[in-house]
Amino acid sequence: MADMPGWDRAVAAAEKVLGKDAEIPKPKGNIDKAVANEGKQWNDFVKAREGLEEEVLALVDASQQVADAIEQFRDVISENAFGLDLKKKDDLKKIQEARKIMLGLLDKHIAMVKNNAKNERELNRHLANIGNYRQGTL
């Protein structure tokens, strides 16, 4: 078993204990194949995790862009008179009520997008922590 360091020493030590008439089974070739496959799968996993980290960071950036765009539009709505006259009491009341309706919805969406970005950053922390995991090798 070329891929299991120390096996030859373990066999030699066991033979000393058992005596020269003992018959120690030979390892099957599928162990070496399995060890090689595990190494390949580990490398594939590392690449996938790194790719996922990049995707999550891009998602965080995209979420922030959405929040920024909605906030900019919110600023437009909060100052807009909608073609009415701010000096007229009746128009002012309509403007304020319309702003309240639209700003409420925009604020709700801004909060949701910012919460998504917070969750995405949390996910990225977990992915980074997975990166600290080290697999033992044979």
Q: Which pLDDT tens digit goes with each residue over 2-58?
A: 557 788 899 999 999 999 889 999 888 788 888 889 989 999 998 999 999 999 999
C-alpha closest to that of 79 among 58, 95, 68, 93: 95
State the average pLDDT for the chain: 91
138 or 46, higher pLDDT: 46
Provide the residue type at 4 as one letter. Answer: M
pTM of the model: 0.69
Mean of pLDDT values over 96-106: 98
Phi, psi values for residue 80, rounded to 5°: -85, 140
